[in-house]
Amino acid sequence: MRKTEEVNRIIGYYIRVHYELHGRNFKWEDCIQDIKSKIKVDYEMNLYIQEEIQKYLKSKISYGIFLGRCQPFTNGHNETIQEMIRDGVRPVIILGSINKTDDKNPLSFDERKKLIKKVYPIGVKILGLEDKTNWEDWMESVLELFRKNEMNPMNMTLYSHVKDVDRTDFEYKGIQYSSESYTKMFEINNINIKNIDEKTCFLGNVIHASDIRGNESIAKRNLDARVYRELKKMNWWE
């Protein structure tokens, strides 16, 4: 059967109805059965309907976004991911500075991803982001990352703890901002923001990544045991 405008209207209608009725318990088989009552569904059309269902369901996923270098992934970072899980959104970790290797960035993207996978083998999406020379290019690369991964910014919430030290002056879309957080750019792009206070984000302790990198006893108290063991294997504190 040809995919006419009327056929697409019928398919879209039943997909929306089934999603509104069942939400996460959506069963594509039942949806196709209802569509069959209105149009002829051959093998090719069946595949097409399944693709349309997947596109629709993907557009409805709510994402929690966490941006950080995670050098390494700490209990504070983990608490933010747990907050996302409690909120019922799909966690997405964007690891920054993947094009840098220095004292502040000793772990590669793949090494950081491996550490996080020790804690979250499934259920958490991990993406990489390069540093840019200005904030406007940086934000555009973030938005491009969302586009490439078919993630709808309208269904996103940025989980962020803004420290005074992170505030800076920058220009975005022709407007100058003074002593402002980078989260302002997400706000301008209609992305929701949830501020995680210091207690929630860092478990009540202001622990810097440099402290963890430089002191094994501090690291042991502030890292998931699986992350600590992996770094220990890498002779990180020797």
CB-CB contact of 124 with 89 (8 Å): no
Would you state the pLDDT for residue 187?
93
Would you state the pLDDT for residue 149?
93
Into which CATH architecture does domain 63-233 fall?
3-Layer(aba) Sandwich (3.40)
Domain residue extents for the chain = 5-59, 63-233
**Site of tokens 């960035």:** 105
* Measured distance CA(181)–CA(183) in Å, rounded: 5
Beta bridge partners of 171: 176
What the block records as the tokens of 86 is 């409690």
Buried b (16+ CB within 10 A) or exposed e, 199-213: ebbbeeeebebeebb
Residue 209 identity? A
What the block records as the tokens of 73 is 């992934």
Say if residue 150's pLDDT is above 70.
Answer: yes
Residue 162 identity? V
Q: Give the residue-averaged pLDDT of 51-57.
A: 92
Helix or strand (DSSP H, E) at 159: strand 156-160
Longest Cα pair distance anywhere in the chain, in angstroms? 69
Signed CA dihedral, 68, 79, 206, 110: sign only: negative
* Measured distance CA(62)–CA(41) in Å, rounded: 31
Beta bridge partners of 175: 172
User: What would the pLDDT profile of 104-139 be if each residue is shown by its tens digit?
Assistant: 999 999 999 999 999 999 999 999 999 999 999 999
